[in-house]
Structure 1
């Protein structure tokens, strides 16, 4: 069930609105520029749903409400993206165009939709297929100016929302809906900067030699382009209609203001992207609590063994992107760690962000349970009132704010392909939004030649895409660049401190916490019954970073802080991205690796050209003291601080480039946010014996062994992995072996086992009976497993671990991330992003497998030693699994798939479906679940530049 449409106004309003806010006038005259040199030979393709255009005028929004229409190019890529699931098995190299758009440089004359010049030194060409801007600058300033102008044309309101989110100011801009509050709080907690600190980051990068100065010039001309569009669109009344819906511009008088963009806004957007996709670590307090509970339950020696198995820091069974025999040690726990600051049991409390709340801010920012399906709102004939009602749930209804995996990559070297040239299928998983967070573009000008995707508002360079004879992409790596320090609290008069004290000890001094604040106040939208409200967001900061928790350690009050290597350095990566776009800078795989080294976010970078493939793991990897355990809170003492650390500017000694996981021309690379290389510690518990990267690695490895791999082969492997339930392919065989250790006597129970067995034999896929049916093949088995998994995990582990330790471990990592998102068998306890596609990254998949294999009597590398399930007895463990299976079969569909504002309770297909979260007024139709990148390239270069 789609979300109920908002109240309709009179159809005549469309005509009235159209007379008030007009579409931008078409400009004529410029000639079609010559395309840049392109060595891909029509073998570069890409896709980004739902569509390039994310701007809708007031008239467009009214028409969408009344008639269901959408602006041109706002939904013309979603169907191609969806069609791959029903068509991948028959995909050939000749039919790739049916599922991906051409990603060649330039626009053919008969494909030109519009040519215009926002300034004399730049020409923008929009293509008919997808409305993508192809920007040709006669000067470098013109190129980046055109990039800013075109991005504002496509994504202005989105960019505005994101800059507010990064500052913790969404509610003052768009109202106090719970989701708006949740969003601003999450991002403010990670990057609570003052305006002076944002400017200082710009000044620091500008001082980094010629490339730094060029980056500043590029950013300034990019902002000029954004602001030129804002001024013209406001004057011409074709600005995004959401500014009317949120009360910022009057639709009749045109009074109001769309605030120009500033350089510091770009820093905010970079911080937001980095927080979402480019960091790792930071869960040390949760780790400490879980580890302490296990020690309490089992004693120090056995408790430590169980903890290390759950954590899987260097699980010998984990697949790794690099498999050439080399090791890259980083972030591991020393044999005898010192300086660990474990909290006293029960003493940890979260540091509140919200202060002085009043009115509707007193309501919880996050619902206690899944909301019921939305009821229709009362009808109104006022189009402005109707549109303002669009944002009662927030400008971002859900799906943002949680750190998300950025995936995936499949790359095969030319030694194993049919053509002798490398092939790649890769792209980022950035979630599903309408409009999309990414924007597509081609940039051609002095020192810039690229085409691909960038985050809206950061698109003066292409961040993921292709150059003239090479292409690149990334996945989130998440190696540990965040540490937690326990700072001792104090009082300046020497009196005894408490957990609430406002001072902390640093190098012998008692210093006050520094506070960064945001004032947020909102009034209800028209037609909204909620109260006005407001609050202050306050971040307490130390020289070790923002405070996240308070506790006692050995009876003494402390504050736990987050020290992040990229803190105060959000835009340092700009130089690396600049190099990616410069054809003179990237002439080889080694050049690409050197450019990737300039990026301080934790990404796995992949590169292909006609001859070579390459991999590099970027990130500001810190050199820690050898006695420090980065997975646990650390005593705030100089003996345990980062080597070479300067707290004034957060600089430190970094791991050299050669020690970062890297490779050129390995037989193949796969990445789905799995472990980078042997020796590189996992930042969380999921990079172990079973991880979703297994689905790619097994398929690509088989293709390479067969030889003569094609783009179609690699695309099919990606698509098949993207509809496969990881639990069926990798864990169900272990479950069945335990169950099959004795006959299943009860025929009803045996039938349940056979349902799962049959689904596994058919590939374990979550696919429709036929495209568009909205019913799964093997629907009964899918529902059975979805209900069984949380019950079997609890039954397998909780009796042995005890309730406290079991719960503490689920706080470190949820037990499940199936597409519909439910865990622990209880509605409201979610992990991952329901309706957001990405699935099976987090979950106790490897832990379940290891323990079951131990019960079966196998020697399990990195295992639990004594098995936990059924007290280690095979028969008892088997009974636990079968009892849970019978219980699962009795769970009503409405509990397994409880429904929400978009789906009826019990609707299995809809519970999994991808739903583009609106950041504005244009909604999209849901599509079938698929676990694949949001933006994706299919690439094979047959030639290189001379």
Structure 2
């Protein structure tokens, strides 16, 4: 029978706009509506104090009797602020005058200030830039105390500095009820948005803006679940996990009861989020309308969104096939495959690794691939998702993603962000391990994550959780240990070619002509005062097979096929709840081995890191399917039993998975770094771009130096992170070799010579994109930065397109974009997103230039490209493109957008909190670091 790997217990979002265009609403709002909104009952200044009951005025209770082994040395930060809810009045005041609800933006300033303040950082000043993440709240720091819904078994205390909820329960039910209530206090609107996104029903809920259409289309394409599918996930998770599964279900139900209790209280008190009025769900004067209560399947819908965003590595086999065919068209079958492999860099020997020792072979290239189903040239078409557009929907592109902003946002989130720096105790000043780590979940208002502390029976943790999934802390600290994650991206997605029979909606399954299942829904919207998008509708349709949803149509050897995509976590996202439950359980996690066993129950593709006062650890999670022998995971395979995952059950999408020992893992390595780089030797499932130059090198180089010197402190490790987060990867690791080529002879052209001088000075100073002083909004070395931003795309195209040819060059850029600088709106992250330098042609340029220089290159490209391999021709090419770049004005390099004027370099790089609700925030300076981040050093252990 199909089976799971045995376990301890089974278990874009870049430029995304506000779901409704609130500024447009303000322009159209009548004075009567404005006055009515302002006169509606306001929430108290602290959302925690919203319920006007006697219970809300009780004195603070002491935190649960737990020992905090961090000794005041745990800190964290999560911009822009804890409070993600705002009444109608608060939204209107923010839009009109820029005023902020309490605790809505108070973490943004300290987060921003690290970019200019890190150089003078000491252990004593860390909490100038971070929050104290100790357990409990000192009596003189209590801002409010609430017993939600008048319950006597749970108390929510909020602190003065951040407004973070500290939830203490005397019963398990009460504890989880309080977690749900606090989540709704801080993120009700956002939770509502994403439960609709997860069902592909955002536009009926929030309106027909193009970004809303694109968002629901993209997620529904990857998880086209019916209500029966969502309920089945719950049933299966409970059935597969025994007592822990039943406990998880009980926790979910208590959590939802807390959410719904807040909905009732805020509705009757009229302090619910103002977005419900702006989108027509509630009336600001009569209070007519409803806020739909939450149910368990909503949480599964939310989990499917988070899984698709951050925990579903792999895929892209059809695009891989297209670029391979282009290479073979250019070079012939054998040489073309060699060229393709050199660019794919499946197992590049020069790549930075998280695990330094050992080999963890997975998805390696088979010597004799079998079952490949490569399409015929020119035969591939993308399966349409949207049909029957009417009204305003008819003007939206028919592609599945209806806006470039949404597409790049989702792409960047899935591609991976986040970083981790962990140093073992033998290299620290105190003798205790130190960790600086966190996920990069993008910059949103309100933020996708929220902070909380939960103390109750079987739960003891503080940290961050995704809104609507905060029944447990998902990233944070326990009593004497801390953990965090980065997106790992290993391949748990495969494409299959199902041979069609009878017509276009039947396929062969094990020799039998089988009907595809059609899943569809119609979304319609009408204009409201909040969004003047005219009425419209469309129908979304997906054909599902036993091998997953259909994504493309093609012919293979003349046979008509449909390409499908099968993800190991598809239909199984809910089961990861067991791993998070274990991480929060102080009776379960008592050391690094327990930590590793806990995260083995998480089927999302994450790198997990751990630190306590004595040990560090790492584990790479995810249900890695055991593929049939000789199947190449990089390309589509025939949908035949010989090429299926081993012991795969299509009804439940359960199969054999590689055992924990085969996942990259480690305990007490000298140090760990991760910035979505390659995990370990021979772990060949990494996305494109894991070669000799990767942003992981920015961390590895710095931490390696700290470890060699010894005496690492929290401050020095935080400095290393901050400095790496301000460095331009191209300038630090590639430009020096480019300048070697240019300076191989005297530069006689004055324009080129001046540009070279500026670049050399910048590189010598540290290659950082930093302000001249705090708040100056002007970069030091601004001219050098402008030149490199203009030069990189010019030199990459000039270096590679002549040798590859236009068709192959274009196909390769579809696999890996050439650039992802902070201001590169054309890159995978888009503009104003913070996360940068994850994906680009850094390694290709580096390896090729070193080859032209005659230096030793391990794992070189199949050919030399710059100047056809001639040093003098390559030098001429570089000088010519550098001169062209130097001649571009700031307005040409930074053309401006809705947020920045043309030529404003700092603004082009700046980070903007994308509005997912009605509250807007100020821009902050660019820094390439986690959104939620911890700095931890435990002083003792249980």
TM-score normalised over the length of structure 1: 0.94
Name the counterpart of 2:463.
452
**3-state SS of paired residue (2:498):** strand
**2 CA distance for matches of 1:536 and 1:14?**
36
Is 5-14 or 553-562 further displaced after alignment? 5-14
In structure 1, which of residues 177, 180, 184 is the aligned counterpart of residue 209 of structure 2? 177
Q: Which SS does the other structure have where 2:360 is aligned?
A: coil
Query: What does residue range 839-850 of structure 1 map to in structure 2 within 5 Å?
Result: 839-850=836-847
1:255 and 2:288 equivalent? yes
Alpha-carbon contact 2:339-2:863 (below 8 Å) kept: no
Matched, 1:675 2:672: no
| Structure-2 residue corresponding to 1:78 | 108
* Contact kept in structure 2, 1:406 and 1:474, CA below 8 Å: no
Deviation at 1:212, TM superposition (A): 0.6
- Mapped to 2, the partners of 1:503 and 1:914 lie a distance apart of 48
**Aligned mate of 1:52, from 82, 107, 114:** 82
> What's the secondary structure of 1:490's corresponding residue?
coil
Secondary structure of 2:281's partner?
A: coil
Partner of 1:699: 702
Distance 1:284 1:669 in 2: 31
State the match for 2:141 in structure 1.
111
2:570 to 545, 567, 570: 567
**1:857 lines up with 2:890 in the alignment:** no
Deviation of 1:804 (Å): 0.4
* The one of 322, 329, 354 aligned to 1:296: 329
Matches within 5 A, 1:205-244: 205-207=237-239, 208-244=241-277
Contact 1:397–1:918 (Cα < 8 Å) also in 2: no
CA distance in 1, matches of 2:478, 2:70: 9
- Measured after TM superposition, the shift of residue 892 of structure 1 is 3.1
| Equivalent in the alignment of 1:915 | 912
Matched, 1:189 2:221: yes
CA shift digits 1:386-414 (9 cap, x unpaired) = xxxxxxx99x8983464142311000000
Distance 1:529 1:155 in 2: 25
Residue of structure 2 in register with 1:375 after alignment: none
1:310–1:398 distance in 2 versus 1, CA, 3 Å: closer
Structure-2 separation of matches of 1:74 and 1:677: 40
Tell me how far 1:772 sits from its aligned partner.
0.5
Residue of structure 1 aligned with 2:165, choices 126, 129, 133: 133
Which residue in 2 is equivalent to 1:22?
42
Return the match for 2:409 from 399, 404, 407. Answer: 399
| TM superposition shift of 1:4 | 11
Q: 1:609-636 CA distances to partner (integer Å, 9 max, x unpaired)?
A: 0000000000101111121000011111
- Check conservation: 1:312, 1:682, Cα contact below 8 A: no
What is the CA-CA distance between 1:196 and the residue it aligns to? 0.4
Residue 30 of structure 1 and its aligned partner are, at CA, apart by 4.4
Asked whether 1:934 is paired with 2:937, we answer no
**Superposition RMSD in Å:** 2.0
- State the Cα distance separating 1:21 from its structure 2 match: 3.3
Q: Deviations over 1:48-85 (max 9, x none)?
A: 00000000001111211222111100000000000101
Q: Which residue of 2 aligns with 1:690?
A: 693
What SS is found at the alignment partner of 1:314?
coil
TM-aligned CA distance change 1:80 to 1:277, over 3 Å: same
- Alignment of 1:429 with 2:443, yes or no, is no
Find the aligned partners of 2:595 and 2:531 in 1 and give their Cα distance: 52
1:20 is displaced (CA, Å) by 1.6
With over 3 angstroms needed to count, the CA separation of the structure-2 counterparts of 1:14 and 1:76, relative to structure 1, is farther
Q: Is the 8 A contact 1:147 1:222 kept in 2?
A: yes
Structure 1 counterpart of 2:187: 155
Aligned pairs (5 A) from 1:462-861: 462-491=473-502, 497=503, 501-526=504-529, 530-822=533-825, 829-861=826-858
Residues 36, 285 of structure 2: 8 Å contact kept: no
- Secondary structure of the corresponding residue to residue 76 of structure 2: strand
Deviation of residue 529 (structure 1)? 5.1
- For residues 368 and 887 of structure 1, what CA distance do their matches in structure 2 show? 37
Asked if structure 2 preserves the Cα contact closer than 8 Å seen for 1:524 and 1:531, the reply is yes
Verify the 8 A CA contact 2:63 2:455 in the aligned structure 1.
no
Distance 1:555 1:13 in 2: 64
Where does residue 355 of structure 2 map in the other structure? 322
Query: Conserved in 2, the CA contact under 8 Å of 1:168 and 1:188?
Result: yes
Question: What SS does structure 1 have at the residue aligned with 2:809?
Answer: helix
Q: Secondary structure at the match of 1:904?
A: coil
Cα offset, 1:886, TM superposition: 1.2
| Partner residue in 1 for 2:429 | 418
CA–CA distance in 1 between the matches of 2:125 and 2:313? 39
Q: Hey, what's the Cα distance between the residues in 2 that align with 1:185 and 1:401?
A: 13
1:440 pairs, out of 451, 461, 473, with: 451
Q: CA deviation at 1:364?
A: 2.7
1:906 aligns with 2:903: yes
Q: 2:507·2:516 contact (CA, 8 Å) conserved in 1?
A: yes
Paired residues of 2:22 and 2:278 also in contact (CA < 8 A): no
* Secondary structure in 1 matching 2:276: helix
2:62 counterpart (11, 33, 54): 33
Distance 1:300 1:741, change over 3 A: farther
Separation of aligned partners in 1, 2:701 and 2:450: 32
For residues 533 and 30 of structure 2, the distance between their equivalents in structure 1, rounded to whole angstroms, comes to 26
Write the distance in 2 (CA, Å) between the matches of 1:648 and 1:420: 52
Shift of 1:370: 14
* Contact 2:396-2:402 within 8 A present in 1 as well: no
Gaps of 5+ in 1: 372-392, 492-496, 823-828
Give 3-state SS (helix, strand or coil) of 2:738's partner. Answer: helix
Partners of 1:121 and 1:18 lie apart in 2 by 35
Q: What TM-score do the two structures reach when normalised by structure 2?
A: 0.94
Where 1:651 maps in the other structure, the secondary structure is coil
Please list the CA deviations of residues 589-646 of structure 1 after superposition, one character each: whole Å capped at 9, or x if unmatched. Answer: 0000000111111100000000000000001011111210000111111111111111
- Alignment map for 1:325-404 (pairs within 5 Å): 326-365=358-397, 399-400=409-410, 402=412, 403-404=414-415
Deviates further, 396-405 or 224-233: 396-405
Change over 3 Å in CA distance of 1:319–1:401 after alignment to 2: closer
Aligned to 1:284: 317
**Aligned with 1:102 (options 132, 144, 149):** 132
Structure 1 residue 557 displacement after superposition:
1.1
Matched-pair contact (CA < 8 Å) for 1:288–1:343: yes
Q: Deviations over 1:491-537 (max 9, x none)?
A: 1xxxxx5xxx1111111111111111121101123375543111011
1:158/1:435 contact within 8 Å kept: yes
Identify unmatched segments of 5+ residues in structure 2: 1-16, 44-49
The separation in 2 between residues aligned to 1:525 and 1:401, in whole angstroms, is 30
Give me the whole-angstrom Cα distance separating, in 2, the residues matched to 1:40 and 1:528: 48
Indicate how the Cα distance of structure 1 residues 110 and 365 shifts in structure 2: closer, same or farther if over 3 A, else same: farther
Distance in 2 separating the partners of 1:42 and 1:894:
48
Alignment-derived partner of residue 872 in structure 1: 869
Q: Which residue of 267, 283, 298 maps to 2:300?
A: 267
* Greater Cα offset, 422-431 or 229-238: 229-238
Q: Which residue of 2 aligns with 1:388?
A: none
Structure 2: how far apart are the matches of 1:21 and 1:808?
58
Alignment match of 1:123 (pick from 155, 159, 182) = 155
Asked whether the 8 Å contact 2:60–2:142 carries over to 1, the reply is: no
1:224 aligned counterpart, secondary structure: helix
Pair 1:129–1:920, CA change in 2 (3 A):
same
SS in 1 for 2:409: coil
* DSSP-derived class of the 2:608 partner: strand
Corresponding position of 1:377: none
Paired residues, what number? 907
Could you tell which deviates more after superposition, 22-31 or 799-808? 22-31
